[in-house]
Structure 1
Amino acid sequence: MLIQVVGVPDDRTSEEVCACVRLHTSAKVTADELKEFCRGKVSDFLVPKYILFMEDAFPTTETGKFSRNQIAAQAKSLLGLSNMAQTSQKLISSYLHVPHKRPCSGKTTGQLFNERANNNPDKEMYVFYADKERKTYKQMQDELGIKVIVLMRSPSDLCDKACQVIPELAVNSAENLNCQGTPTLRYVINAGTTKCSGAYSLADFMEVGNAVEKSDFLEACELVDLDDPLGVFFTSGSTGFPKGVTHAHRLCDIFSTFLDSLSTDAEGNEILWMSRYALIMSFGGIGAQTGALLPIFTKATTIIVGPVYDAKMIARVMHDEKVTGTTMLIHHLNDILNLSDIKDHDLSSLELCFTGGSIIPRSLRDRAAKITKHILLGYGGSEGFAASQTPRDSIEVLEGAAYSLTPGQELKIIGPDEQILPINTPGEICFRGRNLFMYYWGEDEKTKASKRPNGWYHTG
């Protein structure tokens, strides 16, 4: 056995230990076994974070010595770390920048979608599990045009509940809703079966698209730019006043770069977690971004679990559809693990579960390991995604809730005077990058207060 230990880039510590191993043809050993062998014999920080099994001979210098620079370059390439920053300097202030690993394509969401549909016309794009309906890329392409995708199909009883909150829905017409309690509410679209005089039916809404000529629609599509609004994603409303976060078309292209950072584990093995993704609608705005748009900026199939939260339904969908990845809140995960019949569901296909909002207790992480190979925390919001854990992180990093900065982002921590603070000093987190929102829809003052002219988003 030959072993060469080299340093490779790391977003958090600037450099991590990587052991490159060439085994004898008859030798058999795993990466975990080698790490366990090291523990107790060397300091914890010297236990290799990465172990790579090399098939080819180690490169050598002209004098016949092993070339550590070339070996390190090979390791960085195999781990997908070749273009990451922070390889030479250790952080001394609370500022960090990580560049993109690859350039963006420069295509709008519509262009990306048509490219996927043309290359994979018969591949499933969406599965509406509760409705027992499946749509291929080609079918969605034919249906889209001047119409819309309706992902959240509300059960009929939600219309009755809405009428209790907004009485005018039951008595006023859809054309003249005039709600006293919610004066800014102008249109309601009812996707259920219960009649509601103050709401347009989904069929009526879809019919509006037929009034536009196809040629006019295609001509308008040609005018769409990367910096034009893609959509409005409402915040969770934790302040009591949800804001309409407006993102540009470049969101899809940039988000795909972030997903690349989650596609390999510590040994450099590919993780195919995006092939069949379960979208839990109750996850809110971020769920719409990562789930509904996922088939557009990757080749994933998104399975729409259902219009309302149901832990049993989620487990059943994961079992039936062989789900490989999902995004859910901590309490969603806990609910699923606490199901009395969870052992009756085969969740072995689940490669990765992405979550956020709170630290994952050790006990919950240990239980979650029985149903998913990787459970990762992310940090950000509807305004933008700043950082996340990766499948390459050690258990110490995962349990310590440390994060790697999302490719293409800058992050700083500032004090009351808005100056960058020394490391390990509490302050306000700010970040900037091309995946940040454009503005809050119709709220210029709130936009100016949180997003400065120089592009920095102040999280508060």
Structure 2
Amino acid sequence: SYVQGTFDIPLLTKTVGQCLDETAQRFPERDALVFCRDGVRKTFAQFKEEVDQAAAGLLALGLKKGDRLGVWSPNKYEWVLMQFATAQAGIILVSVNPAYQAGELEFVLRKVGCKALMFPAQFKTQKYYDILKQACPELEKSSPGGIKSKRLPDLSIVIMVDSKLPGTFHMSEVMQAGDSSHMKQLRALQQTLSCHEPINIQFTSGTTGSPKGATLSHRNIVNNANLIGMRLGISEQVGLWDYRVNIPAPLYHCLGSVGGGMVMALHGSTSIFPSPSFEGKAALEAVLREKCSFLHGTPTMFIDMLSQPDFDSYDLSSLRGGIIAGSPVPPEIMKMIMTKMHMPEIVVAYGTTENSPVTFMGFPDDNFDKKTETVGCIFPHTEAKIEDPATGESVPLNTPGELQVRGYCVMLGYWDDPAKTSEVVSDDKWYKTGDIASLDEHGYCKIIGRCKDMIIRGGENIYPAELEQFLHTHPKIEEVQVVGVKDSRMGEEICACIRLRTGQKCTEEEIRAFCKGKISHFKIPRYIVFLNEYPLTVSGKIQKYKLREQMEKHLKL
């Protein structure tokens, strides 16, 4: 199994800053960004001006090319402002999960040596300043820009988005710090930037072990965003309202920052952020108010939107397509997205943070089976192969094995972790995804599951995704997750964790009877547990390892 993408679209050698400059010149008056909850709306010309001001401000505070600045915040305007300001000045943006508590925060800031950190005062129950104080007790007694911390030795600058507490700069001070000499410094610095330099460190949502900092270059994300826009069919020959993209996905995650922010900077589309963290109702309201034509999210987000009690009252007729990514899409959900949400052009995308992120994506006019059974077709300038994880031998087409990817999109490496990097990137630059998949002769890919989610029951390999797809066809089941739990005799047993549709009642026996004769007897779940919610990462992905732990506890194994 081997497939290679086309070469008809040239790879770009521009930096992130050059892309924004060109787009702002082409569409100065077009909306670039809308943040609905905060009432922020910026045209490309306004955004470009503020990005340059912020970049000059960062230089005025003493940050230099190659320094790391962390953004620890839900979706706010300042997140995207910093994303582009750091890129203009050659400063490396570190995306920090907004749900992190003190221990996790300390780990990532130390790992990459963050010199600066930006955050809001509070979001929901998360009081950011107080959490940082636990890792950096010196903060309160420090002067702004002069932090000297024992546990965070690199941190000197803390910027607050919306208030000023001891030891911090207010964002408005950063915006005013740069004068004409810093602007001159910025212009000179931009001449020295290369598209091969690191620009962003994204911590992989540690579904196992401590998070690793995938380091991406301008070239990685500029080209990925360009190819995403091309495959969605975003072109310049359209009116102002054609490409208004609703982004309920988090910015600290690739789908938000590359699929939202970077696609905007390359293609001149408008990125609309409904709320600081995902709310189904806010996402639907934003479609209606902002006349969105595209909507990107995870299956969980779409399920939430479709199950809003007043769903039918929203006029979603402006929609036509979007990206769904992050986990497999049940066919009946896909049908509802295409019909009830007016999104016939919806495409499935697949990728990993380490691949900037997208490597496979559907075409808007793919047929229904392709949209539900595959994650689309290989991207241009990308190679993929499938190997037997046990032997390392190549497998025939349409045969499952571990998916590996090579091309412009492979990360520079995990920050300061050559050992972890060499575990996943081979000497000849193949990246091991850790996903079990199969390829067909047309370059379409089916994802079957994670290598590590695979259940080995008495020597039989069982792929949870296959079982989940089957159980989804039961009329009473809204959502299902299958995990392996330990068993002294079999090694592992199958546990199905089922969320029922509203108002439905169901028994374990009913589910087992439904399975009999339709799937192999060894795939019928030994344990069936009904629950109301799953443990999620902030980006809305289900944390299977946590679910497995919960089930082993619940079942007293």
Equivalences for 1:350-429 in 2 at 5 Å?
A: 350-368=319-337, 369-371=339-341, 372-384=343-355, 385-415=358-388, 416-429=390-403
CA contact (8 A) 1:353 1:376 kept: yes
**Cα distance in 2, alignment partners of residues 377 and 136 from structure 1:** 29
Equivalences for 1:118-129 in 2 at 5 Å?
A: 118-129=25-36
- Residue 24 of structure 2 is matched in structure 1 by 117
3-state SS of paired residue (2:340): coil
Is 1:257 aligned to 2:207, yes or no? Answer: no
**Cα distance in 2, alignment partners of residues 179 and 308 from structure 1:** 33
- Residue 279 of structure 1 is matched in structure 2 by 247
3-state SS of paired residue (1:352): coil
CA contact (8 A) 1:169 1:199 kept: no
**Cα distance in 2, alignment partners of residues 404 and 445 from structure 1:** 31
- Residue 49 of structure 2 is matched in structure 1 by 142
Q: Please state how far the C-alpha of 1:259 moved relative to its aligned partner.
A: 2.8
Please, what TM-score do these two structures have when normalized by structure 1?
A: 0.70
**Cα distance in 2, alignment partners of residues 135 and 455 from structure 1:** 40
CA contact (8 A) 1:127 1:303 kept: yes
Equivalences for 1:2-151 in 2 at 5 Å?
A: 94-145=1-52, 147=54, 150-151=78-79
CA contact (8 A) 2:225 2:258 kept: no
CA contact (8 A) 2:120 2:128 kept: no
* Cα distance change, pair 185–414 in 1 and its aligned pair in 2 (3 A): farther
Equivalences for 1:204-215 in 2 at 5 Å?
A: 204-207=173-176, 209-210=178-179, 213-215=182-184
Q: Please state how far the C-alpha of 1:192 moved relative to its aligned partner.
A: 3.5
**Cα distance in 1, alignment partners of residues 6 and 157 from structure 2:** 43
Once the two structures are superposed, residues 237-265 of structure 1 have per-residue CA deviations (whole angstroms, 9 ceiling, x without a partner) of 2224222222222231343134322329x
**Cα distance in 2, alignment partners of residues 437 and 169 from structure 1:** 29
**Cα distance in 1, alignment partners of residues 225 and 245 from structure 2:** 15
CA RMSD in angstroms, aligned pairs only: 3.0
**Cα distance in 2, alignment partners of residues 249 and 311 from structure 1:** 32
**Cα distance in 2, alignment partners of residues 160 and 402 from structure 1:** 35
* Cα distance change, pair 231–315 in 1 and its aligned pair in 2 (3 A): same
Is 1:162 aligned to 2:128, yes or no? Answer: yes
3-state SS of paired residue (1:247): strand
Equivalences for 1:175-190 in 2 at 5 Å?
A: 175-176=146-147, 178=149, 188-190=158-160
**Cα distance in 2, alignment partners of residues 199 and 391 from structure 1:** 47
* Cα distance change, pair 162–115 in 1 and its aligned pair in 2 (3 A): closer
1:328 is matched by which residue type in structure 2?
A: G
Task: State which drifts further: 336-345 or 99-108.
Answer: 99-108
Greater relative CO (CA pairs within 8 A, separation 6+):
1
* Cα distance change, pair 447–185 in 1 and its aligned pair in 2 (3 A): farther
Task: State which drifts further: 128-137 or 159-168.
Answer: 159-168
3-state SS of paired residue (1:364): helix
Equivalences for 1:427-442 in 2 at 5 Å?
A: 427-442=401-416
- Residue 450 of structure 1 is matched in structure 2 by 424
Task: State which drifts further: 253-262 or 129-138.
Answer: 253-262
2:363 is matched by which residue type in structure 1?
A: T
**Percent identical:** 25
CA contact (8 A) 1:171 1:198 kept: no
Q: Please state how far the C-alpha of 1:169 moved relative to its aligned partner.
A: 7.0
Of 289, 301, 324 in structure 2, the residue corresponding to residue 332 of structure 1 is: 301
Q: Please state how far the C-alpha of 1:370 moved relative to its aligned partner.
A: 0.8
* Cα distance change, pair 334–186 in 1 and its aligned pair in 2 (3 A): farther
Is 1:295 aligned to 2:261, yes or no? Answer: no
**Cα distance in 2, alignment partners of residues 196 and 169 from structure 1:** 16
- Residue 88 of structure 1 is matched in structure 2 by none
**Cα distance in 1, alignment partners of residues 179 and 283 from structure 2:** 36
Q: Please state how far the C-alpha of 1:150 moved relative to its aligned partner.
A: 1.6
2:260 is matched by which residue type in structure 1?
A: G
**Cα distance in 2, alignment partners of residues 183 and 390 from structure 1:** 48
Q: Please state how far the C-alpha of 1:411 moved relative to its aligned partner.
A: 0.1
Q: Please state how far the C-alpha of 1:333 moved relative to its aligned partner.
A: 0.6
Is 1:304 aligned to 2:278, yes or no? Answer: no
2:226 is matched by which residue type in structure 1?
A: S
Once the two structures are superposed, residues 381-437 of structure 1 have per-residue CA deviations (whole angstroms, 9 ceiling, x without a partner) of 111122122222211222223521111110001133433222233322110111222
Q: Which runs of 5 or more residues in structure 2 are unaligned?
A: 56-76, 81-118, 435-557
**Cα distance in 2, alignment partners of residues 444 and 274 from structure 1:** 44
Give 1 or 2 for the bigger CA radius of gyration: 1
* Cα distance change, pair 158–191 in 1 and its aligned pair in 2 (3 A): farther
CA contact (8 A) 2:294 2:321 kept: yes
Q: Please state how far the C-alpha of 1:178 moved relative to its aligned partner.
A: 4.0
Once the two structures are superposed, residues 16-64 of structure 1 have per-residue CA deviations (whole angstroms, 9 ceiling, x without a partner) of xxxxxxxxxxxxxxxxxxxxxxxxxxxxxxxxxxxxxxxxxxxxxxxxx
**Cα distance in 2, alignment partners of residues 451 and 292 from structure 1:** 27
**Cα distance in 2, alignment partners of residues 307 and 240 from structure 1:** 27
- Residue 315 of structure 2 is matched in structure 1 by 346
**Cα distance in 2, alignment partners of residues 386 and 273 from structure 1:** 28
